[in-house]
Structure 1
Amino acid sequence: MFVIKLIVALIIMLSLAIYIVNNSIKAKVNPINEATSAPYEGSKFHNTAPRSPMSFSDTVTLWVRFFTEKKVDTTPNINIPVRTVSRADLDALSSDRLHLVKLGHSSILLKVYGEYWLIDPVFSDRASPFQLIGPKRFHQPPISLEDLPPIDKVLISHNHYDHLDKASIKALLAKTQQFMVPKGVDGDLIDWGVEEGKIITLDWWQEIQTPQSLIAFTPTQHFSGRGMGDGNMTLWGSWVIKTPQESLFFSGDSGYFQGFKEIGDKYGPFDLTMVETGAYDSNWADIHMKPEDSVQAHIDLQGKVMMPIHNGTFDLAFHTWHDPFDRVVAESERRNVTLSTPEFGQVFSINNLPPLTPWWQQTP
């Protein structure tokens, strides 16, 4: 049985490699010709703290593990609670403050003083270059792409498939005024049909002032790439949003690093931190935080309330689907950190944050 699984794994790996190579040849990565705040050398971006590259044997071992290791409880045995949101519901929200909706995984819908913004919108059934194989959604989005109101801004943290979804971007083309992306990611968007004039590319620590807010693109410790030929050729990062009444942080993906304290010192305190808590493993701890590190990041950021994201929608690791919630709750209680765990589709604002509600513990 092990040999059969190994052969299947190798066939899938080869097929995936051929597909990605063919598509990465067509990838549009715009060259970076100016100085950057993020470390940039040899046509690639780098983290501030050097990462130890995985050896070939480590990579093979991980792939074999991925296809042969028995997974336990990695998909829900309950119906994930999802509250349906309509266009009328959104339009009825006031325009004198900021409202939020957790759509799934790391996708967030904001109504910012009357304007609709999306962060890392992923509406596809799979976080994958394919729609036949790859991590499949546990639940449907609370609102469809078609029912979304006109979008003023789409903010992208990095170009991985569970954060930058080609089908979603193409569906949003006609209703979105502006796309704010890390350096280099504009190439993909232009290739997908986004007008160049609609795209703003940002470097680490770069700020944009809007009538409603200050938006800043801040560092993370991660990586980028959608194929085998474009690794780290585009930047990755996190987002700071500060309005006259609210201050938010969105982590994107990251390992734990000193940068969280630097962001907290520069832009904190934050009313709400949306911090990655999921898809972690000891084999890649430097690029995805375990829940205990996520709580420490929130503390470093000088956050008041933490909302765990990057969980509950896709199976992207070996841990159980509910482990991120269980561990972050335990650590937040130990560290006296206030958690907010809204259901998908639940609409809330900073002065009306949902309390810690263990919806993932319901009986099947």
Structure 2
Amino acid sequence: MLNCSGISRSAIKGYSQSAQFDGKRFTNAAPRQPLKFTEYMKMFWDLAFNKPKETVPQQRLPVQPITSEALAMAADNSVFRLGHSSLLLKLKGKYWLTDPVFNLRASPFQWLGPKRFQAAPIELSDLPPIEGIILSHDHYDHLDYQTIMQLKDRVRYFLAPLGVGDLLAKWGVAEEKITQLDWWQSTEVGEVHFVATPSQHFSGRGLFDGNKRLWCSWSIITDEFRLFFGGDSGYFPGFKEIGNKYGPFDVACLENGAYDSRWADIHMMPGDTIRAFQDLKGKWLMPIHNAAFDLAFHHWNDPLIQIAALAREQKIKLSLPVIGQAVNIVQPREEAVWW
């Protein structure tokens, strides 16, 4: 078991200890589905010019502002939904962020790229003291440079998959704050146990760094609850393995949004999200990766409509709070339809 004393030095020297690293890049257990060059070009053309207007809501979505009073009143071991895959976790009296993106765009540019539907329910400057940031991978809608730069001196710990920790250090995050883990490695901070569990995805922030950094999900465990944070993933047998090792999970926060059959092996379709939840032996499903950025061709609320219908059909307990609303991990509840 690693602890939060700093970066794994062997990772910096090439990640040779990782079964996921082939000497040059990280790989999935199963290869991604191949697309022809012409298919790639058509997909990018459609993303740029052929998206239906309904991919963006025509009206502002309901948002519950997160105030200091709301933070104080929330039960310990709660999850606040910030939008997309960003969550504010209140665990054992301390606050953690997952994949925090507070920027206007999920993009390397301030003037181009997917734009937020609306601002986050709390300003960065109003966040409570943050014990740690939990990162799943390096894509712009999960790892935002501006957000990290504004938080790096206010956060005690950064937990990341292999390679992402090195990137944080390059950005100026103090190395003693960073722990980066391979799949199935774990660390403890106080009374909370964190396991970097597998996912089926990819990485890269530019033209030349594809799959140079690992991607992962997270199993977060205390003596009171088990929480799964899925990051990004296609459906794969690893969910069943995670469920067998660390389930059942009280709440599984799983990707449900930005999907398309052309990239179903790296972003789950709604039916895949249900299968993953069942494999994880989840008790409550909290769908994430939606209602914040326009990243696919489906209507903005299609993920919510589909997952709600599938959950009813499969008799799955579903928690879909509005942005900014808190959910008790130990005692979740179903929310009113807001989409």
Correspondence for 1:35: 17
CA separation in 1, counterparts of 2:321 and 2:189?
Answer: 28
Q: CA shift at 1:50, angstroms? A: 1.4
Q: CA shift at 1:33, angstroms? A: 3.8
Correspondence for 1:19: none
Instruction: Report the AA paired with residue 321 of structure 2.
Output: P
CA separation in 1, counterparts of 2:73 and 2:329?
Answer: 17
Q: CA shift at 1:353, angstroms? A: 1.7
Q: CA shift at 1:67, angstroms? A: 2.2
Q: Deviations over 1:134-153 (max 9, x none)?
A: 11111111111101111111
Determine if contact 2:54/2:300 at 8 Å carries over to the other structure: yes
Among 299, 304, 308, the residue aligned to 2:287: 308
CA separation in 2, counterparts of 1:210 and 1:193?
Answer: 22
Among 92, 99, 103, the residue aligned to 2:82: 103
Correspondence for 1:48: 29
Instruction: Report the AA paired with residue 142 of structure 2.
Output: H
CA separation in 2, counterparts of 1:124 and 1:346?
Answer: 20
Correspondence for 2:50: 69
Among 187, 190, 197, the residue aligned to 1:208: 187
Determine if contact 2:77/2:330 at 8 Å carries over to the other structure: no
CA separation in 1, counterparts of 2:161 and 2:15?
Answer: 14
Q: Deviations over 1:135-180 (max 9, x none)?
A: 1111111111101111111000000000000000000012100100
Q: Deviations over 1:73-98 (max 9, x none)?
A: 1111232111111234324545xx41
- Gaps of at least 5 residues in structure 2 are 1-10
Correspondence for 1:261: 240
Determine if contact 2:64/2:121 at 8 Å carries over to the other structure: yes
Correspondence for 1:16: none
Q: Does 1:187 align with 2:166?
A: yes
CA separation in 2, counterparts of 1:172 and 1:147?
Answer: 11
The alignment partner of 1:239 has SS state of strand
Q: How does 1:121-270 map to 2 (within 5 A)?
A: 121-270=100-249
Determine if contact 2:15/2:162 at 8 Å carries over to the other structure: no
> Quick one: structure 1 residues 356 and 348, their matched pair in 2 at CA, closer, same or farther if it must change by over 3 Å?
closer
Q: Does 1:59 align with 2:47?
A: no
| Percent identical | 47
Determine if contact 2:252/2:285 at 8 Å carries over to the other structure: yes
CA separation in 1, counterparts of 2:241 and 2:29?
Answer: 12
Which structure has more relative contact order (CA 8 Å, sep 6+)? It is 2
Correspondence for 1:87: 68
Q: CA shift at 1:30, angstroms? A: 4.5
Q: CA shift at 1:354, angstroms? A: 3.4
Q: CA shift at 1:351, angstroms? A: 3.7
Correspondence for 1:284: 263
**CA RMSD of the aligned region, Å?**
1.5
CA separation in 1, counterparts of 2:310 and 2:285?
Answer: 12
Q: CA shift at 1:31, angstroms? A: 4.7
> Quick one: structure 1 residues 69 and 42, their matched pair in 2 at CA, closer, same or farther if it must change by over 3 Å?
same
Correspondence for 2:320: 341
Give TM-score scaled by structure 2 length.
Answer: 0.93
CA separation in 2, counterparts of 1:288 and 1:75?
Answer: 19
CA separation in 1, counterparts of 2:17 and 2:170?
Answer: 24
Correspondence for 1:11: none
CA separation in 1, counterparts of 2:64 and 2:282?
Answer: 27
Q: CA shift at 1:70, angstroms? A: 4.1
The alignment partner of 2:96 has SS state of strand
Determine if contact 1:222/1:255 at 8 Å carries over to the other structure: yes
Instruction: Report the AA paired with residue 18 of structure 2.
Output: T
Correspondence for 1:25: none
Determine if contact 1:342/1:354 at 8 Å carries over to the other structure: no
